[in-house]
Amino acid sequence: MKAAEAVLRANDRDGYTVPAQGLYPFQWLWDSGFAALGWAVLDEERAWLELERLFLGQWESGFLPHIVFHQEDSGYFPGPEVWGVRRDPPTSGITQPPFLAPVVLHLVRRSSERGLERARWFYPHLLAFHRFLHRHRDPGGSGLVAVLHPWETGMDNSPAWDLPLKRVPRRPFALETRRDIQHVPQEERPRQEDYERYLYLVSLFRELGYDPDACFRESPFRVVDVGFNALLLFADEALGELAWLLGEDPAEPKGWFQKGVLALEALWDEEAGLYRSLDLHTGERIPRDTSAGFLPLLLPLSSSRVGRLVATFRAWAGEARYLFPSAHPLAPYFEPRRYWRGPVWAPINWLLAWGLIRHGFLEEAARLREDLIALVEGSGFCEYYHPLTGKGLGGRGFSWTAAIYLAWIG
């Protein structure tokens, strides 16, 4: 507990938490949601502050960027000069899984009357963000939203993006420009080819002035990510509950939630026994099995659907020493050391456990918790872990791992 606290305190930058010193020296959207869960165990006020700092980066349109560059630091690429977003503080121009309303609700539930007053400030800001996503990322009103960049999924080099990324041209740049591989071994990171495509998309959106509708239209990468959508719907549900608690009208978030939960069924893959993302350029589900496909467990699903998902979960569990691998452990694209292509990630364990508890699968949820605790106690607070050996990988002294550990043992 003390060691986890020390990690969060070392990564605290006067009110926001950097994911890891050196590697990620700014504030990231969904990392801050998880960091707030950890801060809540130590200091409720600090948890609220984390979220407030994040909203300093919100745009007038309601858009919430995935990075807020609160201070200068040359340790990360692409920095504010590459994004070219002229705001104070500067930000990136893409978003990340909107895992914030459930955090606000969690803080309200843990706290006193005062918590509800804090939530009152967040409500319109969250509503504006959700509105932005449902309007500009789902212009046809399907109920599900698109992501336009692999970074928006939070699972950058997931095998699910291999096929849709092929459509994205490469924007060559020198390997030395990358900062990540100065901090972490190259074989634990996305490949250079992936990075070149990530950078192409950034320059395209920049040229389009980050106009949301132009970006949606022009992006060669346009995917309905099952993970992003499960988290948005989970957050819509939480927003509806917040509205009710605050005496606001819950109709809008409830409407998004109900429509989205029905629409999500289009992502179910009966043969694979889990959900898969959809490539909007082809209209086809992407034939790759990743941990994101289990995130709909956070939502109300039929008991037969949950039964089948849990059976798939158990099959994966039988193939990995540590849960939960980010890609199918028997698939040809499984790479147990490379980032989102196999390793275990603390926040995903936590989200999956939350979903399993919702549906009454307490044993499976307990295994996710125990495995994460074992990984941390064996290897420290790493960015991610080898699912077969338990070796710690990626950045060290990592905030979301420490925060989830605290949330689980605190």
Task: Give the residue numbers annotated as catalytic, written as ranges.
Answer: 156, 383
Q: Which is nearer to ligand 9YW, 268 or 339 (CB)?
A: 339
Residues pairing with 193 in the sheet: none
Residues in contact with 308: Cβ distance below 8 Å, sequence separation at least 6, in sequence order: 273
What CA–CA distance (Å, rounded) separates 5 from 177? 33
CB 213 within 8 A of CB 138: no
Q: Which window, 52-60, 151-159, 280-288, 304-312, contacts ligand 9YW (CB under 6 A)?
A: 151-159
User: Residue 180 or 241: which CB sits closer to ligand 9YW?
Assistant: 180
Q: Residue 157 to residues 12, 165, 326, 341, 407: CA-CA distances in angstroms? A: 27, 10, 11, 7, 27
Of residues 97 and 253, the one with the C-beta less far from ligand 9YW: 97
Find the shortest distance in angstroms from Cβ 280 to ligand 9YW: 22
Q: What part of residues 8-27 is at the interface with ligand 9YW (CB under 6 A)?
A: 19, 24
Angle of helix 29-42 relative to helix 346-358, nearest 10 degrees? 70
Q: Which residue has the tokens 């993006």?
A: 161
Element at 28 (helix H, strand E)? strand 27-28
Going residue by residue from 30 to 49, which x/- string records binding to ligand 9YW, judged by CB under 6 A? Answer: xx------------------
Stretch that binds ligand 9YW, among 148-156, 213-221, 253-261, 355-363 (CB under 6 A): 148-156
Nearer to ligand 9YW by Cβ, of 37 and 310: the residue is: 37
Q: How far is the CB of 190 from ligand 9YW (least distance, A)?
A: 8
Give whichever of 178 and 359 is closer to ligand 9YW, judged by the CB atom.
178
Which residue's CB is nearer to ligand 9YW, number 78 or number 329? 78
Cβ 273 vs Cβ 261: under 8 Å: no
Among 16, 28, 122, 268, binds ligand 9YW (CB under 6 A): 28
| Measured distance CA(244)–CA(240) in Å, rounded | 6
Q: Which string of x and - marks every residue 239-278 that binds ligand 9YW (by CB under 6 A)?
A: ----------------------------------------
Cα dihedral sign, 147-148-154-160: positive
Closest CA to 316 of 306, 305, 301, 331: 331
Q: Which is nearer to ligand 9YW, 65 or 115 (CB)?
A: 65
278 has which bridge partners?
A: 224, 285
Within residues 85-124, the interface with ligand 9YW by CB under 6 A covers none
Q: How far is the CB of 96 from ligand 9YW (least distance, A)?
A: 6
Considering the complex, what minimum distance in angstroms separates the CB of residue 33 from ligand 9YW?
10
In the complex, minimum distance from the CB of residue 110 to ligand 9YW, in angstroms, rounded to a whole number: 24
Q: Which element (helix H / strand E) includes 268?
A: strand 268-269
Using CB under 6 A, pick the residue from 129, 151, 161, 294 that binds ligand 9YW.
151
Q: Which two tokens stand for residue 47?
A: 């948890």
198 contacts ligand 9YW (rule: CB under 6 A): no
155-174 residues near ligand 9YW, rule: CB under 6 A:
156
| Cα–Cα distance measured from residue 35 to residue 52, given in angstroms and rounded to the nearest whole number | 13
**Shortest separation between residue 94's beta carbon and ligand 9YW, angstroms:** 10
Count of residues in contact with ligand 9YW, rule CB under 6 A: 8
Cα separation, 194 vs 165, in Å, equals: 8
Query: Which structure tokens are listed for 54?
Result: 């994040």
Q: State which residue, 66 or 118, has the beta carbon closest to ligand 9YW.
A: 66
Minimum Å distance from CB 151 to ligand 9YW?
6
Question: Which of 154, 253, 273, 387 is close enough to bind ligand 9YW by CB under 6 A?
Answer: 154
The secondary structure of 329-378 as a DSSP string is TTSTT--TTSGGGS-B-HHHHHHHHHHHHHTT-HHHHHHHHHHHHHHHHH
| Minimum distance, C-beta of residue 177 to ligand 9YW, in the bound complex (Å) | 13
Q: How far apart are CA 190 and CA 150, in angstroms?
A: 11
Residues that bind ligand 9YW (CB under 6 A): 19, 24, 28, 30-31, 151, 154, 156
